[in-house]
Amino acid sequence: MTTVSLTVNGDPVTADVEGRTLLVELVRETLDLTGTHVGCDTSQCGACVVEVDGVSVKACTMLAAEADGTEVTTVEGLSANGELHPLQAAFREHHGLQCGFCTPGMIMSGLDLIRRNPDPDEHEVREWLEGNLCRCTGYHNIVTAIQSAAAELGG
């Protein structure tokens, strides 16, 4: 076992993990933050995307031990004081979700895009979502939601 200390959604967390424990397992099972999902076993679907030290990563393809000393943000950490983050609000406003399963990963991925590219065009959003699969929406409203949130956030 390895002891890891990290910050998750602003709160300090210390946990004993096995070498093989994945970050997503730490988040879902130890910390009970079940908003981060697992949809595949080949690092493709992106349902598990979280932010580590300010960039989006697939929590199913990172060891919990690697997250020692990092700041992790999950979808649960986005809204503050009961107010939705503009990206969360945009997904709701533009119907960017149906079953909701891919949504946390989509939102966390979109957040990274907007930080790097405050005014992404349609093509840039679609290319950026290469690592996020959605089976419900056909992506149409997800792209719209991300572009709209980017505009709202001042892009």
Partner 1 sequence: MENFEFQRATTLDEARSAIGSADAGKFLAGGQSLIPLLKLGMASPDRLVCVKALAELRGLERDGDDVVVGAAMTHAAVAESDVVRQAIPGLADLASRIGDPQVRNRGTLGGAIAHADPAADYPAALVALGATVRTDRREIAAEDFFQGMFQTPLEGDELIQTVRFPVPERAAYAKFPNPASRYAIVGVMVSQSDGAVRVAVTGAGPGVFRVPQMEDALSSDFHAGALDGVDVDPGALTSDLDASAEYRAHLVKVMAKRAVEACA
Partner 2 sequence: MTDTGIGAALRRKEDARFVTGRGRYTDDIDRPGQVWAHIVRSPEAHAEIAGVDTASAAAAPGVVAIFTGDDVAADEIGGLPCGWQIHSKDGSPMVEPPHPVLAQGRVRHVGDPVAVVVAESREEAKAAAALVEVDYRPLPAVASLAQARADQAPLVWEDAPANLCFDWEIGDQAATDAAFESADHVVSLQVVNNRLVANAIEPRAAIGEYDANADAYTLYTTSQNPHVIRLLMGAFVMGIPEHKLRVVSPDVGGGFGSKIFHYAEEVITTWASRKVGRPVKWTAERSESFMSDAQGRDHVTKGELALSADGTFLGLRVHTDANLGAYLSTFGPSVPTYLYATLFAGCYTTPAIYANVKGVFTNTVPVDAYRGAGRPEAAFLLERLVDKAARTLGMDRVEIRRKNFIQPDQFPYQTPVALEYDIGDYDGTLDEVLRISDWEGFEDRREEAASRGKLRGIGLSTFIEACGIAPSAVAGALGARAGLFEVGQVRVHPTGSVTVFTGAHSHGQGHETAFAQIVSERLGVPADQVEVVHGDTEKVPFGMGTYGSRSLAVGGSAIYNAIDKIIDKASKIAAHLMEASDEDVTFEDGTFTVAGTDKSVTLGDVALTAYVPHNYPEGLEPGLEETAFYDPKNFAFPAGAHVVEVEVDPETGVVELVNVSCADDVGTIVNPMIVEGQMHGGLAQGIGQALLEHCVYDDDGQLVTGSYMNYTMPRAADLPFFKTGHHITACTHNPLGAKGVGEVGSIGVPPAVINAVVDALSDYGVEHMDMPATPERVWRAMNGGQGGR
Which residues form the interface with partner 2 (CB under 8 A)? 20, 28, 33-42, 44-45, 47, 74-76, 78-79, 84, 88-89, 91-93, 95, 97-104, 107, 122-123, 125-127, 129-130, 132-143
CB atoms inside a 10 Å sphere around CB 118? 12
Residue 152's closest CA among 119, 116, 103?
Answer: 119
The answer to whether 125 and 147 have CB atoms below 8 angstroms apart is: yes
Residue 99 CA to residue 30 CA, distance in Å, equals 25
HSE, side-chain direction, 13 A CA sphere, residue 68: 11
Q: Which does 139 bind (CB under 5 to 8 A by kind): partner 2, partner 1, none?
A: partner 2
First to last CA, the chain: 44
Q: Is 113 in the site for partner 1 (CB under 8 A)?
A: yes
Is position 57 an interface residue for partner 1 (rule: CB under 8 A)? yes
The 5-44 site mask, x for binding partner 1 (CB under 8 A), equals: -------------xxx-x------------------xxxx
In the list partner 2, partner 1, none, the entry touching 114 (Cβ below 5 to 8 angstroms by class) is: none
